[in-house]
Amino acid sequence: MSLRVKICGITQPEQGRAIAQLGATALGFICAPTSPRYVTAPQIATIVANLPINLETGKPCCDRIGVFVNADLDLICQTVALGHLNGVQLHGDETPELCNRLRQALPDVELIKALRIQSAIALETIPQYQNSVDALLLDAYHPTLAGGTGKTLDWSALQQFCPTIPWFLAGGLTPSNILEALACLHPQGIDLSSGVEISPGNKNMNQVAQLFDVLNQRAASPTLI
Catalytic residue among 8, 31, 62, 99: 8
Find the DSSP H helices in the chain.
13-22, 41-49, 73-83, 96-105, 120-123, 178-184, 205-220
Whether 8 sits among the annotated catalytic residues: the reply is yes
Catalytic residue among 31, 99, 139, 191: 139
Which region, left, alpha or beta, applies to residue 221 given φ > 0 means left and ψ of -120 to 50 means alpha? beta
Dihedrals phi, psi of 193, to nearest 5 degrees = -140, -80
- Structural contact between residues 189 and 168, judged by C-beta atoms closer than 8 angstroms: yes
> Rounded to whole angstroms, how far apart are CA atoms 210 and 187?
20
Task: Show which residues are catalytic.
Answer: 8, 139
